[in-house]
Structure 1
Amino acid sequence: MIYLVELTGYDPATAGDVVLRYCGGESAYTTRPTDDPANAEYEGRVSDPGNLERHLFGRNRTYGESDIGVGVIKLANPDGDLDGLLDMTFDGRPVQIWALEDGAPFGSRELLFSGLIDDAEFGYAEVTVSIRDRLDALRETLQQETFTGETVSGGRADAEGGEDLKDKPKPEAYGRVLNVPAVEVDRFDLIYQIAANGLASIDVVRDRGVALTKGSDYATLAALKAATVTAGTYASCVALGLIKLGARADGQITVDASEGATAADRSAARVARRMLERAGFVAGTDFEAADFEALHALNPAEVQYWVGTSDVDALDAIAAVLGSVGGYLLPDRTGKFHVGRLELPTGEPGAVIDEVLILDGGSGIDRIGTDDEGSGKAARTITVKYGLNHYPVRRDELVTDTGTASDTTDAYRAFATEEWRQVKIENAAVAAISPDAPELTFETMFVNEADAHAEANRLAPIYSVRRDVFSVPVTRREIETIDLAGVVELQMSRFGLNEGRLFRVLGETANYEDGQTTLVLWG
């Protein structure tokens, strides 16, 4: 087996990116004139073709934030010939690892991994290249625009805030957001921004909880600025996520608004896709659009996500939205993103792993606890939080109820003082057997109670019984078609697995040098 490594780095000498090619062993490998690339030389420098650790969520977890896969590649450099690479920049640039059977044509090589370089460290005799999967590319700020802070006087054509907002990100909204604090971007013309990415509608605008009367909508900022708005009323520019007040606000302006043309466009899957696209990723090339539609079909419930003037990673935002439905975002080994939902393992397994396949004659297997709350024990309660209020206040911060139509409503006052609403399912049978059984809480971006209750009912059978996690070392060739979230059958004479049992793949650690992969199986 020949391992081929391709590293991309920025070369200041040419002021551009170059591809560096290396292979295992001391001899170089050169492609043929008919190959693509033709006559390319892979220098014999790879002492370790790499290892990579990947997980659906965090290590040994079944929910939570997506986890970036990490690993290393080692290049031999006892002669110092690679010292010249010190001046190059590698971070954030592509890396590929290929495997090629001895004597096989170059075109038959197998892509083991496609991701990004994190860093390159130069020791005396070895260069260590840290690598990450493409989730790392989402460790960029979700918001795509920043305030210039130039709106420091009246009569200007912009709405960019004052010096307090200079260089801060503009707010963005996804789905149907509740009670978000609008950002004052032009104090002279009384203009506020809710979402720089644009909205489908502005549903309610409140000043200290009192709903203002909806006025006209305008297509441009200039038209909005020119509009005459009376006290107690607001005008809008929905396309730019802006509103204009008719009189100076008495307190914090909060807004309910919708992004996405219809309720169906506000599902977790479709919101996450728009976030991914806003970050610059393209359907077909970077992710599978069909995966998002399949996840939407599983749960089309409305969600919300709003981010203000603080930086938020795109990955954190996407993980929060997808986590509402038990979903994950994951690049496959070739670097293409997929989404799905963690389900109990069912159906035909992609592989049957028995004591013959498990390394060390089966003794290499370990049963481990999950890193979830309760370590995989049966839960006695499932709580799902929903209806996030982005600007909770004390009751005395709202306009006092005097019985007039303009005052805050009872329903709004009850909503405004709490950050979350929640539903809870209790399992009396588990509680009777195990009084100290864990109580699991899931924060979701669901807007509606019915959707939170439906998700709690879906989670209950997953977490109301004990779940096992096994660490299973196997030869990569035996499971090369199995990726994270796949289903395998584990069969052996220990741990009650005599008849075989289905498991879901939660994680893997692949070592390309010795061809071993350790799977983390859950079920």
Structure 2
Amino acid sequence: MATAGPNYASTAVSDSALAGNVWSNPGNAGAGDDSYSTAYSNGTQYLKATGFGFSIPTGAVIEGIVVEWERKASGSTVKDKAVRIVKAGTVGATDKSVTTDWPTTDAFASYGGSSDLWGETWTAADINAASFGAAIATNSTFVRTASVDAVRITVYYTPQINLASDAAAVATAAADLTTTIALSGDLAASATLAGDLTTGIALQGAATAAAAAAAYFSVVLDGAIQAQASASADLSTGIALSGNAAGIATLSGNLTTQIPLAGDSASVATAAAGLSTQIAPAGAMSSVASASASLTTSIRLAGSLAASAAASADLSVGRVFIPPASQRIYLAEITCYDPTLPGIRTLRYSSGADGYDNGGILYEPLIQQPATLRREIPTDVVGGHVSASYGALTLVNASGQLKALRDYYFGGYELTLKVGEAGAPYASFTTRLKATVETASFEPNRVAIRLRGREETLKTPLQTLSYGGTNVLPDGLDGTPDDQKGKQRPLGFGRLAAITPPCVNTSLQIYEISTSAFDDIVNVFDGGTFLTRGTEYTSLSAFKSSTVGAGGYNIYKAGPTYIKLEREPFRTLAVCAAEKWDYTQISAAGILKRILQSLGYTAADWVEQDFLDLDAANAGSLGILVGDGETIAGVLDRICISVGAWWGFDNLNRFRVRRFDGPAGNPVATITDEHIQEFGPVGPVQRPLWEVTVQGDWNYAVQPNANLTGQAQEQPARAQWWDKASRDQVISVPSVKANRPLAEKTTLTSYQNGISQCLAEGTRRRARFDDCHDPIAVTLGAPDAWMDLIDLGSEVVLVSDQCGYPAGRAKVVVMTQPDFQRNRLDLILWG
């Protein structure tokens, strides 16, 4: 398909075919020179522009028309009243108007499309006529000034064959010529002979990885019918293959030419038609297995052939273009806030040269570089969050067509990037990336849409509640200005072995365990000695006014959770509490999901299988007390580190969590030397571990032995536990140190409750680095499906002589960075 334009109008008038306000200075709408045609916007006449000066070749098939109006308004509510095409000076019936407000700064609006004929049938002459054009009118709720700077039109068409013939000494002769050239199988040439035909096909250079190629061209026949005494039919076909032709199954070229010689050729003895065609596919033709040409030509001469000397026709081929079999393009959809609406606007752009038309929703071809995302998981013995970095999506702005974006608000809105084949239905496009927009940065000749990870929203405190110090004793649960004012309120998850809660009412001796509801208060200690469990209340007012038995405590746990003591503690107060008894709720996976839900996340924001897999790997309970000012990300880190897992967001902005393990025998792809473009080592590497100490079963109410009551001191094991913040488990394998002198020892922090869980987790993580691990970075010329199939934590098999794995090695993907523009995939493989 060819294009003409965009061409600007040479004439514009206010057309009273539509009743309304008259346009002033309508001629100013001819060119984009900031000279405006204006009208009061509350119902206008047509502003009709014509004289676009097109020269579409005769016989061309008109495929579509795009009209662009450059316009603005002095305020809101100005909208399209009518947007129509003009044919032969008459305004058409099809209306393309939209309901969005005109902007208050100059901007083009596009109507129609590459396959939109505006409800009309067209010839080249219709388009070339001075009376061809476009019309627009406005309407508004309030009286504003509507201003039009320019209008331009682009026409999409397919060239056809035109015959100009000068008949000398005869009337006319007619010949229909159809030529089909198909390359397939082995090299061979076949033909049926009729008429004069000379065809040369030269395959030069290389055509890389093409399944099929098709030729499109424009043909003009001119010449004269001259005297000739005899008729002959000669066929000569030459096919020359040069370059590299090895490895592709088929390469085909289809050529169809129609030459009509119409009329009556009286007094003609004979007639002949001559055709000369050369098709040269340029570029690389590596990987072609075989090629062949078969040619069939038929010529029919119509009319009376008597007493004339001769007839002949000459064919000249101007340009031959062989497009690729398919073209992959990217579509970007960017939401932002437009204060001129006011409201949310979606901006749409595409890569490629022609843009994309989704049923009249146009994507301008302005993408210079699609956005990228690099993600890497920690491969040390600890775990935690994924490191992520985004590359900006850049848009071409050489002519300043994106200047209106300067006034839009982008921060916090979303970018969606899709990939598919040009011309394919929108539903077939795959979402390749979703990300949060940071800002739109205007640079020389381009606009960079800069992105940020969703994890940035998690760098805020998880507990946002603090004490106001508003108690008027003996009333209140908010502390006083002298004790709790400004301090963070407690928040806990899981089973808390021992915490010291703050006193929120010193008169009533009420202590807050957590701002959330708890399933139970298991035990309360004063200096290590058990206090007596009293009454549990479901009414907060009844709880506050209750009487506590001697040496005991009462409970309110509906949320927030409180205890009330009979008297002020003699020594350190410590509480053992269970936020949930259901262990599926207080495992690492369970607490992670519940925190996300408290932030407003839903099942669409994570991958459910991740939580199921993590529970299957480690379902032990945790105890997490949120620290002062601790961020959401910090809490998620502590949870994941406890079980050797990592967390982050994937390319679709979904929360992901997985335990870091070695290959398990479930590869999603096999990578070979055929895919590898570059490779190299990665360092530093986690050294083997000969000893691991796991700190677990945390005590948040540490107190020395001297602080304990006599009763508690009489139990040495318990007294020793009160004196330490954690119960440490040591996993030691001296033989590893003996065999591998650089082996290390390390200490891990885990918030798991049971010491048996800590021991098992420490044993697993120490053994994870026993084998010889060789991280390697590879750059792949990847099949498109791998962009979605291979993700962080995926297992692959690397079979590569050049990388030193001729027999293959199973590895885990610990870094992924797709290059969407060049269809490459950068990976770091571990294992």
Q: What is the TM-score of this pair, normalised by structure 1?
A: 0.87
Q: Which residue of 1 aligns with 2:823?
A: 515
1:52 matched to 2:381 = no
Q: 1:303 to 1:46 in 2, by over 3 A?
A: same
Q: Which residue of 2 aligns with 1:35?
A: none
- What are the superposed Cα offsets for residues 251-292 of structure 1, whole Å, 9 maximum, x if unpaired? 553321111133443222212221221222113x22233432
Q: 1:215 to 1:365 in 2, by over 3 A?
A: same
Contact 1:148 1:167 in 2 (8 A): yes
Give 1:130-169 correspondences, 5 Å limit.
130-143=450-463, 145-147=464-466, 149-156=468-475, 158-163=476-481, 169=488
1:498 matched to 2:806 = yes
Contact 2:495 2:579 in 1 (8 A): yes
- What are the superposed Cα offsets for residues 355-381 of structure 1, whole Å, 9 maximum, x if unpaired? 11011xxxx1111125xxxx2322222
- Give the counterpart of 2:687 among 371, 377, 389: 377
Instruction: Tell me how far apart the structure 2 counterparts of residues 205 and 85 of structure 1 sit (CA, whole Å).
Output: 61
Q: 1:45 to 1:270 in 2, by over 3 A?
A: same
Q: Which residue of 1 aligns with 2:397?
A: 77
Q: 1:367 to 1:188 in 2, by over 3 A?
A: same
SS of 2:813's partner is strand
Report the Cα offset of residue 84 of structure 1: 4.0
Q: 1:332 to 1:104 in 2, by over 3 A?
A: same
Q: Which residue of 1 aligns with 2:332?
A: 5
Relative contact order, higher structure (CA 8 A, sep 6+): 1
Contact 1:234 1:246 in 2 (8 A): yes
Instruction: Tell me how far apart the structure 2 counterparts of residues 289 and 296 of structure 1 sit (CA, whole Å).
Output: 11
Report the Cα offset of residue 473 of structure 1: 0.7
- Give the counterpart of 1:281 among 572, 576, 601: 601
Structure 1 residue identity aligned to 2:547: T
Q: Which residue of 1 aligns with 2:772?
A: 466
**Range with greater deviation from structure 2 (504-513 or 60-69):** 60-69
Q: Which residue of 1 aligns with 2:749?
A: 443
- What are the superposed Cα offsets for residues 154-190 of structure 1, whole Å, 9 maximum, x if unpaired? 254x523344755655322111112222122233332
Report the Cα offset of residue 382 of structure 1: 2.4
Structure 2 residue identity aligned to 1:254: A
Instruction: Tell me how far apart the structure 2 counterparts of residues 161 and 119 of structure 1 sit (CA, whole Å).
Output: 43
Give 1:160-239 correspondences, 5 Å limit.
160-163=478-481, 169-239=488-558
Please list every run of 5 or more consecutive structure 2 residues that lacks an aligned counterpart in the other structure.
1-327
Q: Which residue of 2 aligns with 1:365?
A: 679
1:304 matched to 2:623 = yes
What percent identity do the matched residue pairs reach? 27
Structure 2 residue identity aligned to 1:196: T
Q: Which residue of 2 aligns with 1:18?
A: 345
Give 1:101-120 correspondences, 5 Å limit.
101-120=421-440
Structure 1 residue identity aligned to 2:680: D
Q: Please report the RMSD computed on the Cα atoms of aligned residues, expressed in angstroms.
A: 2.6
SS of 1:296's partner is helix
Instruction: Tell me how far apart the structure 1 counterparts of residues 805 and 545 of structure 2 sit (CA, whole Å).
Output: 73
Instruction: Tell me how far apart the structure 1 counterparts of residues 699 and 493 of structure 2 sit (CA, whole Å).
Output: 14
Contact 2:527 2:712 in 1 (8 A): no
| Corresponding pairs, count | 499
**Range with greater deviation from structure 2 (206-215 or 462-471):** 206-215
Contact 2:675 2:780 in 1 (8 A): yes
Q: 1:494 to 1:475 in 2, by over 3 A?
A: closer
Structure 2 residue identity aligned to 1:440: T
Q: Which residue of 2 aligns with 1:326?
A: 644
Structure 2 residue identity aligned to 1:276: L
Contact 2:611 2:657 in 1 (8 A): yes
- Give the counterpart of 1:351 among 669, 678, 685: 669
Q: Which residue of 2 aligns with 1:265?
A: 585
Instruction: Tell me how far apart the structure 2 counterparts of residues 127 and 162 of structure 1 sit (CA, whole Å).
Output: 54
- What are the superposed Cα offsets for residues 304-351 of structure 1, whole Å, 9 maximum, x if unpaired? 11114x222223212321332222334333233343322211224211
Contact 2:384 2:640 in 1 (8 A): no
- What are the superposed Cα offsets for residues 403-431 of structure 1, whole Å, 9 maximum, x if unpaired? xx477853343122222222222222221
Q: Which residue of 2 aligns with 1:392?
A: 702
Q: 1:276 to 1:496 in 2, by over 3 A?
A: same
1:253 matched to 2:573 = yes
Instruction: Tell me how far apart the structure 2 counterparts of residues 335 and 229 of structure 1 sit (CA, whole Å).
Output: 51
SS of 2:410's partner is coil
1:430 matched to 2:736 = yes
Q: Which one has a larger percent helix, Structure 1 or Structure 2?
A: 1
Q: Which one has a larger percent strand, Structure 1 or Structure 2?
A: 2
Report the Cα offset of residue 520 of structure 1: 1.1
Contact 1:141 1:312 in 2 (8 A): yes
Q: 1:80 to 1:234 in 2, by over 3 A?
A: farther
Instruction: Tell me how far apart the structure 1 counterparts of residues 644 and 712 of structure 2 sit (CA, whole Å).
Output: 41
Instruction: Tell me how far apart the structure 2 counterparts of residues 62 and 83 of structure 1 sit (CA, whole Å).
Output: 50
Structure 2 residue identity aligned to 1:390: Y
Q: 1:249 to 1:153 in 2, by over 3 A?
A: farther
Structure 1 residue identity aligned to 2:653: G
Q: 1:82 to 1:412 in 2, by over 3 A?
A: farther
Instruction: Tell me how far apart the structure 2 counterparts of residues 54 and 454 of structure 1 sit (CA, whole Å).
Output: 29
Report the Cα offset of residue 242 of structure 1: 1.2
Structure 1 residue identity aligned to 2:752: F
Instruction: Tell me how far apart the structure 1 counterparts of residues 474 and 344 of structure 2 sit (CA, whole Å).
Output: 46
Q: What is the TM-score of this pair, normalised by structure 2?
A: 0.56
Instruction: Tell me how far apart the structure 1 counterparts of residues 666 and 611 of structure 2 sit (CA, whole Å).
Output: 23
Q: Which residue of 1 aligns with 2:657?
A: 339
Report the Cα offset of residue 231 of structure 1: 5.0
Contact 1:377 1:467 in 2 (8 A): no
Structure 1 residue identity aligned to 2:791: D
Please list every run of 5 or more consecutive structure 1 residues that lacks an aligned counterpart in the other structure.
33-38
**Range with greater deviation from structure 2 (350-359 or 431-440):** 431-440
Instruction: Tell me how far apart the structure 1 counterparts of residues 536 and 424 of structure 2 sit (CA, whole Å).
Output: 66
Instruction: Tell me how far apart the structure 2 counterparts of residues 19 and 31 of structure 1 sit (CA, whole Å).
Output: 14
- What are the superposed Cα offsets for residues 48-89 of structure 1, whole Å, 9 maximum, x if unpaired? 11111112x34x546422125221222233444444434443
Contact 2:695 2:758 in 1 (8 A): yes
Report the Cα offset of residue 111 of structure 1: 0.9
**Range with greater deviation from structure 2 (93-102 or 161-170):** 161-170
Structure 2 residue identity aligned to 1:93: Y
- Give the counterpart of 2:413 among 90, 93, 96: 93
Report the Cα offset of residue 437 of structure 1: 1.4
Structure 2 residue identity aligned to 1:422: D
Contact 1:270 1:293 in 2 (8 A): no
Contact 1:65 1:319 in 2 (8 A): yes
- Give the counterpart of 1:455 among 754, 758, 761: 761
